[in-house]
Amino acid sequence: MERFGGQEIVSLGVVAMTATPESLGTGTGTEGLGVYILDITPNGLAARAGLARGDMIVAVNRQPVRTVDAMVAELGKAGRAVRIDLQRGKERGFTTLRR
């Protein structure tokens, strides 16, 4: 389902889009930089793990993800505990999703 120009990832509880320099307003490139969270489901899996609107997911289980499709593929391979590396503003960190 498309919302807000992004893709809803129901299993994660987010609406996200592939972040590019162009979409972030920081340049003109279209190469994916990560997965930008546009909206988050309250009390959903991502919210319970501490993810927030505006975070950018850059890796799933230490595998870099540059697009929504790459993130969904990595989530499909993951077990019950999933490490999510993210960027929040200028800070980098990680959290663990437990499914």
pLDDT of residue 2: 38
Domain 2-98 CATH superfamily: PDZ domain (2.30.42.10)
Higher pLDDT, 5 or 27: 27
The answer, yes or no, to whether residue 83 has pLDDT greater than 80, is: yes
> What is the C-alpha separation between 1 and 10, in angstroms, rounded?
9
Residue-wise pLDDT tens digits, 17-76? 999 888 888 888 778 899 999 999 999 999 999 999 999 999 999 999 999 999 999 998
Q: How many CB atoms lie within 10 A of CB 43?
A: 8
Examine the pLDDT at 4 and tell me if it is beyond 60: no
10 Å Cβ neighbour count for 59?
20
Return the pLDDT at 30.
76
Higher pLDDT, 4 or 40: 40
CA gyration radius, the chain: 12
- The reported pLDDT for the residue numbered 46 is 94
